[in-house]
Structure formats: structure tokens, C-alpha cells
Amino acid sequence: MDRNYSLVIVAGIMSGLVIFGGRVLANMGLSLYQISVFHALFIFLLLPLIIFKKECRIRRAHLRFFIIFGFFATLSNFAEYGPILLGVPVAIVVLLLYTHPLWTVILGRIFLKEKITNNKVLALFFVLAGVFILVNPFGGGTLGNAFGVFLALMGGVLLSVWFIMGRVSGIKKYNPLTTEFGYYVFMIIFMLISYPLLSLFITDATIMNLSLNLPIETWFYVMLYTIFALTIPHAMFFYGSRKISASDGGIIFLLEPISASILASIFFQEPITLNIIIGGALILAANYLVIRSGKEMTESLRV
């Protein structure tokens, strides 16, 4: 298997730690804002590399890209959490967020001129059907707040922008760690700037608490979360995106809910139901189609 696809596959599997780790941190008493901001602070562990390693340094020409990347990452972060605050069922939020492969295919075609092959269309169908079955959004309850549903849908679009920006960084051959550090720094800036405004409308401490007074053990878990759920898989994706299209990367990354379900089953005793098995099988089939298509394209280029 091509090394770039292998890296993105591992990144997708490791990203299941985002949901799992976020739940662990929430159970430890961290607010949504603490989880969002504090994990990003640990990105400064990369600062020595950014300063002293020539190929990792941020150039002035990079700044515009990282500012835009950080801005959209901040919007994406709010769009992921906002619908929950507005009372939209988690299953509906997850379903709408995981429509991002559809938007990534569309945006990739518009902005990056990526080809929409028959295999990609079939893989897209499999992955969307798999997500729908996996989260079982209409298993009970209602859609909830209409604006919250719209916000979750926009969250899917904004996630696709993340994949597009990652692919652009790959095309520009930015160092993966530089990309990781650059967009996170500006995401922190945008989140801290927005905090005073949001605190005028949201007073719930489980959401807005930003106190730094946490036990050392909690900070240790936040650091582990940053390294293994975000920094390493993101760096793998940014490296693989030098050769893999944004739309392929978006589809492969939907291995995330499968690994998250397995972790939840092991550590939280959540059952792996039939819909998770069927949905996961469809997502794996979609990944097979994407990888096979990429392999065929690589072999044709060699010929």
C-alpha cells in the first residue's frame, strides 16, 4: 500500500481518540472551552522545532494561509459544539458533521480541480450511507432546534474546508509540523478574542469556564490528548496530503467513528450494535474503493 495512504489511514483511526478523549476530559470536569483552548496550548511544545529547525520555520509568506486556516478551524470548532448547546440530539449532530466528505468532494473540484471519478462517487455513497446507519439519527426523539441543525450542517462544510486547507498545505509542501503549529496558534488567538463576546450570551460554566486551576494529573491527560488525538494524526494527514486528494482524505478520515465506537465499547461499556457493524462495514468498503482508485492512478502515472 502507498505510504501516504497508510499514513492517512492511521491518522483516521487515531482521530477516534478525539471523541473518546474529549469525553474523558469532560468527565474529569473540563468545560467545552477548556477542552478546546487548553489542548491547543500544548502545541507550543513544537516551538523549539519551529524556531531552530530551518525547514519548520514559519515564513512571512505563510502567515496569510495560517490566519485563514486558524479562522476556519475556529468556526469549525464552534459549529461542532454549538448544536449540542442548542439542544440538537448528538446523533443528528454527528450525522451532519460527517457529511464533510460530500462537501470536500465538491469544494475539491471547485478550488483544487480534483477529479470526481466513478469510484469516488461510489465510495461517497457508501460512506454517507454508512454514517447514516452507524449513528441511527432517527432512532428516537426529534431534530431539535432548527438553527442548531443548520449550524451542524455548516459544521460539516467547515470540516471539509479543513481538509481543503490541509491539501493546500500539502501542495505547497509546507512541513506538516509547521502547518500544525501555524493554524493552531491563530485558532487560539481567534478563540480567545471571541471569548468575551460569547460570555455575554452563554453563562453555563460547563461550557465557558476557562480557569487554569486544574490538577497536574488533568493537565497531563490534556497533554496526552493533544499529542495522540490531534498532533500526531494531523501531522500524518498533512504529510499524506502532499500526494492524496482532499476528497480521498476526507473519506478515509471517516474511520474515526469506527475507532471511537470500539474505544467507547472497551472503556465505557457501550455496546457495538448491528447498525455500528453495518455502518462500519460500509465505511471500510468506501476506504477500499478510495485506496484502490489511488493505487490504479499511481500505477497509470508510472506507465
For residue range 60-91, list pLDDT tens digits in order. 989 999 999 999 999 998 888 778 667 777 66
Q: What secondary structure letter does DSSP report for 187? A: H
pLDDT at residue 187 tops 90: yes
Tell me which residue of 20, 25, 94 sits closest to 259, measured CA to CA: 20
Number of H helices, E strands in the chain: 16, 0
Whether the predicted pLDDT of 176 surpasses 50: yes
Q: How long is the chain?
A: 303
pLDDT band at 141 (very low <50, low <70, confident <90, very high): low
Residue with the larger pLDDT of the pair 229 and 273: 229
Distance (Å, rounded) from C-alpha 16 to C-alpha 259?
5
User: How many Å is the maximal CA-CA distance in the chain?
Assistant: 62
C-alpha cell, 257: 467513528
Q: What is the mean pLDDT of residues 84-105?
A: 80
**Cell numbers at 100, concatenated:** 464533510
Q: Which residues contact 38 (CB under 8 A, 6 or more apart)?
A: 30, 214, 219, 222
pLDDT of residue 217: 94
| Cβ within 8 Å of residue 229, ≥6 positions away | 14, 15, 17, 18, 20, 21
Q: pLDDT tens, 248-263?
A: 999 998 888 888 888 8
Domain spans, the chain: 3-296
Instruction: Identify whether the C-beta of residue 4 lies closer than 8 Å to the C-beta of residue 240.
Output: yes
- Residue 86 CA to residue 132 CA, distance in Å, equals 21
Q: In angstroms, rounded to a whole number, what is the distance separating the alpha carbons of residues 258 and 296?
A: 26
Q: Residue 105: which of 96, 94, 116 has the closest Cα?
A: 116
